[in-house]
Amino acid sequence: MYPRAALKFALLAQLASLASATYSDPKVLDACPGYQAKNVFNYGHKLTADLVLGGTACNVFGNDTEKLKLEVTYENKDRIHVKITDPATNRYEVPEEVLSRPKADLSAGPQTSNILFNYTASPFSFSVYRAKTHEVLFSTASHPIIFEPQYLRVKTNLPANANIYGLGEHSDSFRLPTHNYTRTMWSRDAYGLPQGQNLYGNHPIYFEHRTTGTHGVFLLNSNGMDIKLDDTEGTGTTLEYNVIGGVLDFYFLAGSESDPTELVRQYADVVGTPAEVPYWSFGFHQCRFGYANYIDVSQVITNYAAAGIPLETMWTDIDYMDRRRVFTVDPQYFPLNRVREIVDYLHAHDQKYILMTDPAIAYAPGEGYGTFDRGTAADVWLKAANGSSPFLGAVWPGVTVFPDWFHPMAQTFWNNEFNLFYNPVSGIDIDGVWIDMNEPASFCNYPCTDPFAQARQQNLPPPRTSSPPDPNTPIFGEAPPSVRKRASAPDHSKDNVQSPPYAIANHAGSGALSDRTAYTDARHANGLIEYDTHNLYGHMMSTTTQGAMAARRPGLKTLVITRSTFAGSGAKVGKWLGDNLSTWSQYKSSIAGILGMAGIYQVPMVGADICGFGGNTNENMCARWAMLGAFYPFMRNHADLSAISQEFYRWPTTAQAARNALDTRYRLLDYLYTAFHQAKKDGSPVLRPLWYAFPKDTNTFAIDSQFFFGPSVLISPVIDADSTSVDVYYPHELFYDFHTLAPTTGGSSVHLTNVNFTSIPVSIMGGAVLPLRTQGQYTTTALRKTDFELVVAPSLADGRAHGSLYLDDGVSVVPLMHTSVSFAYEKGRLNVQGWYGYATGVNVSRVRFANTKSAPKSVTLNGKTVAANKVAFDSSTGVLDVTLGISFKSSFVVELH
């Protein structure tokens, strides 16, 4: 691109920004004519209509489409699908291969539905409301729909001070602000996770919670969009979609009037239930950007062992690569034979190894770089606007190309690269995959007239800053492809895909959609362009990478951790929250981040970089974060190249905090594994905000400094910098201290003092039976050989408790055998029953009964009296311990008499 063209695009961007400011006035948009519904046909389970422009076109960001097609389908009793399209134009829709559409129940209809669709013909508006109470959940009344080539607008009225959650990845509060607030969907490399801006992932689903129930709205659209929440109009809150392409494809979810988790399961019916991950992946992971060589990596492994801090998986960032090129090792700093020595050592000690794999491939014609040469031969690169030459960016290796994940040979190409480089015989036998920069990120500022010059200017790839180690330095002592269908490509010849007339609030660089990423006019093999598919790039790389790992190890569960996600990504991969900072505010905001992914978006294998990625942490912060991070489903310590070293063993307090928290986490690992299995079965959330369990308690609606780990374990971390106290809200129920089982009757906030820097408040909610390992271990392999104990924590209302346990081999996608056990306690009787197909190989050492009012006269196990010396009652805590020591291979009953 020449300077004159660059100036042209800058002027277009400025004009688009001015137009957005003028026409974003709600009064202007609400004065548009909207549509009239004609030729309405009602088939019971389905309604169709033509929507005809109702007056003089508004043409705010283009020409109003004169005739639309409306299709409303009752897909089941809890889901209504509302779709509005332009029947005269082949507009882009999210391809089926990205998100397979849910099947509809042919017997569904308004007679059996929990929510209903209603419309007004002229001017056309529609509403969705509860069938039982007629409570309106979504209404476009007085807000005309606008449908133009590059601008779609739908607006709904909500109650004042609406409780809205979701709307994609962000660093804001879990309950979203409703005053002049915008959520923008446009994936970008977002170092520092700034508040109020677009980040890496896009999930256009929101939950609205009311004391009368919880419902959800999902817009299946991958184009750039702004979703605005505002209460300045004085009539309550409004929520407005401003979308720059595609179609209006809504799924309205009834949720429940009493159980918010039912809504989470309903959303899973649309986007898929999350993947089960291997048992070992719940162990502790260590990484950093900046391990200079293989000796650094080996020393971290041995230092964790020396400190007695469990380490399950060692990771290596792009440092290992030759000139930052994926599928290579630096022969001087990370020689292949020494990296293989590290992997062999880890595997011999029941530990794992993971490497970074980026999407950007070095553009290296004639240099003998195998990955580039093979991808070029297969023609799998994303193309420039001309459709023939590869699109070029500038990333870590310098000038790069990008795989086109829609290419029919993409999976074959990626599988082959994994088989060649991650080969257990001749390469590096990784156990999982970490993929980054897949928005896709580029360091090239728009307009990037010369990526080669920008790469030189930014000194890419960056040179090494240390001398290579002696390659003989001793360490550790002696020791089938899928074919993607071609989509029917939309015609964008008349559209301005670089500077669309409505400018979304993209915070990347200059704000241009193509800034620091693949250009919006870059072309895929199936005819689609990045303008429509940009928000899918990370999702497509994720699913292709998961496919490559599954092909490497057929039949085994995979762990793939990605940065950029879209709706449905969790069905294949896990996610970390990206490049956070070592600050107390981001320590706290990570809770809202993991609640969004694991509690709403069906991406439960999620965590934040513990102790922070960018900037320098300190002993107290890292100690607090180690303890909070122990209750992220994905637990990893990771730091930036420029940050100080922050491995847990670096400070005495942090080391002890990590040991304590990991002991608690590992004791709960089977409880967590069970929660993931349940999530795979029906979408039940792995992490939960407090209001999921207490939907009528308005005090819980805004809380995002506490959360439930699984269904029953309440985590209440100290939030304030260097503080040793915290205000904990206990809803109306009994809560038991995890370690002492001392009960607290909820219903108010409690100020906890003397919470030292090696402890974190963990409570068990009344009504739970928890299966715990008796103690943590250094590895999950050792943990699985450790006995169980059961903790019975009766509820406040009726003294009952229940729980479950799922066990299998921990690695197989379809295990040959499994054990599934349920626990039920009532009136002094604990019934443990289930299917014992998988041999646990361990015992149930004891049962701990909390909140026991007095010592029982006797205790029986399967009707036989337990010896008095195996029964211990602590009157000060109300805890009754019953030692069993029985093999955990059959059902049993323990009764208190």
Active site residues per annotation? 436, 439, 579
Collapsed DSSP state (helix, strand, coil) of residue 652 = helix
Task: Compute how many other C-beta atoms are within 10 angstroms of the C-beta atom of residue 866.
Answer: 18
Nearest to 415 by CA among 378, 382, 387: 378
Residues 6+ apart with CB under 8 A from 335: 294, 329, 471
Q: What is the 8-class DSSP label of residue 436?
A: -
Strand partners, 202: 566
CA distance 792 to 896: 12
Amino acid symbol at 564: S
Residues 6+ apart with CB under 8 A from 618: none
CA distance 741 to 739: 6
Starting at the edge strand found earlier in the chain, the sheet holding 687-688 runs 687-688, 707-709, 713-715, 762-765, 734-737, 743-745
Side-chain-side CA neighbours of residue 712 (13 Å): 27
The angle subtended at Cα 220 by Cα 218 and Cα 226, nearest 5°, is: 80
308, 268 in Cβ contact below 8 A? no
Side-chain-side CA neighbours of residue 268 (13 Å): 26
CA distance 502 to 60: 9
Residues 6+ apart with CB under 8 A from 684: 261, 264, 265, 675, 678, 711
CA distance 757 to 754: 9
410, 544 in Cβ contact below 8 A? yes
Strand partners, 400: 362, 393
E strand spans, 375-439? 393-395, 398-401, 432-435
Task: Compute how many other C-beta atoms are within 10 angstroms of the C-beta atom of residue 816.
Answer: 9
Side-chain-side CA neighbours of residue 70 (13 Å): 27
Nearest to 265 by CA among 203, 220, 222, 207: 207
Collapsed DSSP state (helix, strand, coil) of residue 77 = coil
Task: Give the largest CA-CA distance in the chain.
Answer: 92
CA distance 214 to 264: 10
Nearest to 759 by CA among 879, 630, 612: 630
CA distance 655 to 288: 17
- Helix 261-271 vs helix 669-682: angle between axes, to the nearest 10 degrees? 60
Q: Is the peptide bond before 194 cis (omega within 30 degrees of 0)?
A: no
Q: Is the peptide bond before 711 cis (omega within 30 degrees of 0)?
A: no
CA distance 608 to 603: 13
CA distance 187 to 205: 16
Amino acid symbol at 349: H
Amino acid symbol at 440: P
Collapsed DSSP state (helix, strand, coil) of residue 418 = helix
Task: Compute how many other C-beta atoms are within 10 angstroms of the C-beta atom of residue 217.
Answer: 23
Nearest to 667 by CA among 835, 783, 500: 783
Collapsed DSSP state (helix, strand, coil) of residue 621 = helix
